[in-house]
Amino acid sequence: MILILDFGSQYSQLIARKVRSFSVYCQILPFDTSVAEIRGLAPGGIILSGGPASVREKGSPKIDRRLLTLPRAESQAAGFPTVPILGLCYGMQLLVHLLGGEVKPQSHSEYGRAMLRHNSSDPLLRGVPKRDTVWMSHNDAAVRLPSEWRALAGTGGCSQAVARHRKLPLYGLQFHPEVHHTSHGGQILRNFVFNVCGASADWKMADYIEQTVTETRARLDAARGARIVCAVSGGVDSTVLAVLMHRAASGRCLPIFVDNGVLRANEAQIVMRNFHDRLGFDVKMINAGSRFLRALRGITDPEQKRRIIGREFVNIFFRKLRPNDFLAQGTLYPDVIESVNVRGPSATIKTHHNRVPEILALMKQNRVIEPLRELFKDEVRQLGLQLGIPRDVLWRQPFPGPGLAVRILGEITKGRLDILRLADAIVIEEIRAAGLYEKLWQSFAVLLPVKAVGVMGDSRTYANVVAVRAVESVDAMTADFARLPWDVLARIASRIINEAPGVNRVVYDVSSKPPSTIEWE
């Protein structure tokens, strides 16, 4: 097992994902986890993440020095006698600082691509070209290494971008090997995990299932009479979650689907049928459409729409929760990366509906179960395949919790919902017919709050405009607009104008994220 100690980096989970992709189990814990606890876990190696602090600041996060010479467990006796450590960015600066080197602010901070040069045969750099692109993001850097360290590689702005202790297995990288832009970052992490730590590639997604099932059962057994109330939307994440929770606690799991009135055409029926016919268990449906629509009446501000929908959801789920029940949510890593790091001190970037105050309070009571929170979408799909969930369910495109409410710009009315439902169904039908559905991250229609002039038959019209959005993405953090074939766009436009009443114009959104977002609200 490789342990990642998190110093508040936005990238900690990317490191974990990389290590898991080598079939090596990996766990993230806060930087201040006690030495006793770490020893108990018997890690084969430790990675110290980056972080926003500076080691020069008073009170900046530190580790216990005893970690630097932590004896390895008996079973790992081969290789180094102590647990290898790799410090990344802040993690490296911390090692250098603790061992008597000097860390200073750079005269100019270094962000973005840099050229790494080396001539080293160290196992950490095996297979890494002598000149290679790496990605930097730092203010501070090690300007003098501890006496027992040596530099293995440098960049133009940082002569000790890779360094190590001469005898102990302590390494530091000033750059981020976990991000996509470091071209051989995966190779460096792989070298650390296999060449330095001697890990073996024997961890599988099946182990993740077994581990989650065992942990969930243990939590349930410790809480007398408790059930798991499980929020189901029919999307990939909540379906995998519900199947996983059902496997762990079938009789004590209560999956709930809420019809919030802003779902796509036939959504509720499709979801209920999928569970009943194809997944082998039933989900309880709560029909709350009119209640949501009442609360949304007259609301045009996107954030207010989100807040209202989030609040109604919370009210419904909390009414179902008995005093010691658990709430299970399909929160994924990208959901929390932009809000709060669930296991460390990452800075908050954006709030999320899975992190509203009521849920945070429940988390404090240890009553929230989020087994997917360390996974990315592609990993969740792999997990779903292992659980026997049909492929077409797992490859459904994501659909936001606030549903069509954030795709009807301006006020939500029944008439506007009807128009958008029809337009959206046409987009999906045509994208499927063109064999593009699974290639796109999302494809959908948006109803704009403007009217345009048109001509239909012999008369002029003054009617609605629909925007079509289709994007490619791997994790929704960045996205590019899809270069759809013209004839597919033409069919979509023509069908929407002909079949959706009150629409006389269709436009295609050619913006990418950033700076735009995927949704329009």
Q: Which is nearer to ligand XMP, 174 or 443 (CB)?
A: 443
Q: How far apart are the first and last CA of the chain?
A: 42
Q: Which residue has the tokens 């988390």?
A: 363
Give the one residue of 29, 162, 476, 493 binding ligand XMP; rule: CB under 6 A. 476
Kindly report the three-state secondary structure assignment for every residue of 178-208.
Answer: CCCCCCCHHHHHHHHHHHHCCCCCCCCHHHH
User: Whole-angstrom Cα distance, residue 469 to residue 509?
Assistant: 5
Coil, helix or strand at residue 444 = strand
Q: Which is nearer to ligand XMP, 61 or 235 (CB)?
A: 235
How far apart are CB 353 and ligand XMP at their closest, in Å? Answer: 6
Q: Which is nearer to ligand XMP, 30 or 289 (CB)?
A: 289
User: Whole-angstrom Cα distance, residue 113 to residue 152?
Assistant: 19
User: Whole-angstrom Cα distance, residue 165 to residue 99?
Assistant: 10
Q: Interface with ligand XMP includes 519 (CB under 6 A)?
A: yes
Q: Interface with ligand XMP includes 513 (CB under 6 A)?
A: yes
How far apart are CB 515 and ligand XMP at their closest, in Å? Answer: 11
One DSSP character per residue, 104-150 reads: EEEEEEEEEEEEEEE----GGGTT--SEEEEEEEEEEEEEE--TTEE
Pick from 282, 277, 284: which is nearest to 390 by CA? 277
Q: Which is nearer to ligand XMP, 233 or 504 (CB)?
A: 233
Q: Interface with ligand XMP includes 302 (CB under 6 A)?
A: no
Q: Which residues are CB-neighbours of 316 under 8 A, at least 6 positions away?
A: 256, 258, 286, 288
Q: Which residues are CB-neighbours of 55 under 8 A, at least 6 positions away?
A: 62, 90, 93, 94, 97, 103, 140
Q: Interface with ligand XMP includes 442 (CB under 6 A)?
A: yes
- To the query of whether residue 57 is one of the catalytic residues in this protein, the response is no
User: Whole-angstrom Cα distance, residue 415 to residue 139?
Assistant: 54
**125 within 8 A of 196, measured Cβ to Cβ:** no
How far apart are CB 516 and ligand XMP at their closest, in Å? Answer: 8
**2 within 8 A of 199, measured Cβ to Cβ:** yes
How far apart are CB 477 and ligand XMP at their closest, in Å? Answer: 8
Report which DSSP code applies to 329.
-
Q: Which is nearer to ligand XMP, 51 or 402 (CB)?
A: 402
Set 176, 246, 352, 353: catalytic member: 176
Q: Interface with ligand XMP includes 353 (CB under 6 A)?
A: yes
Set 110, 118, 178, 197: catalytic member: 178
- To the query of whether residue 358 is one of the catalytic residues in this protein, the response is no
From 109-117, 160-168, 293-301, 512-520, give the range in contact with ligand XMP by CB under 6 A.
512-520
Q: Which two tokens stand for residue 215?
A: 């942990």
Pick from 202, 209, 203, 201: which is nearest to 386 by CA? 209
Set 26, 89, 158, 197: catalytic member: 89
How far apart are CB 394 and ligand XMP at their closest, in Å? Answer: 16
- Of residues 240-269, which lie at the interface with ligand XMP (CB under 6 A)? none
- State the binding string over 380-409 for ligand XMP (x if CB under 6 A, else -): ------------------x-xxx-------
Coil, helix or strand at residue 47 = strand
How far apart are CB 80 and ligand XMP at their closest, in Å? Answer: 43
**80 within 8 A of 169, measured Cβ to Cβ:** yes
Q: Interface with ligand XMP includes 517 (CB under 6 A)?
A: yes
**35 within 8 A of 66, measured Cβ to Cβ:** yes
**419 within 8 A of 446, measured Cβ to Cβ:** no
Q: Which residues are CB-neighbours of 52 under 8 A, at least 6 positions away?
A: 8, 9, 90, 347
From 172-180, 358-366, 457-465, 511-519, give the range in contact with ligand XMP by CB under 6 A.
511-519
Q: Which is nearer to ligand XMP, 367 or 377 (CB)?
A: 377
Number of residues forming the site for ligand XMP (CB under 6 A): 12
Q: Which is nearer to ligand XMP, 9 or 331 (CB)?
A: 331
One DSSP character per residue, 348-364 reads: P----GGGSHHHHHHHH
Q: Which is nearer to ligand XMP, 30 or 302 (CB)?
A: 302
- To the query of whether residue 253 is one of the catalytic residues in this protein, the response is no
From 63-71, 108-116, 415-423, 513-521, give the range in contact with ligand XMP by CB under 6 A.
513-521
Q: Which residues pair with 153 in a beta bridge?
A: 118, 162
Secondary structure element (H or E) that encloses residue 87, with its range: strand 85-88
How far apart are CB 336 and ligand XMP at their closest, in Å? Answer: 12
Give the one residue of 190, 306, 373, 495 binding ligand XMP; rule: CB under 6 A. 306
How far apart are CB 495 and ligand XMP at their closest, in Å? Answer: 23
How far apart are CB 102 and ligand XMP at their closest, in Å? Answer: 42
Q: Which is nearer to ligand XMP, 255 or 401 (CB)?
A: 401
- Of residues 72-111, which lie at the interface with ligand XMP (CB under 6 A)? none
Catalytic residues: 89, 176, 178
> Contact residues for ligand XMP (CB under 6 A)?
306, 353, 398, 400-402, 442, 476, 513, 517-519
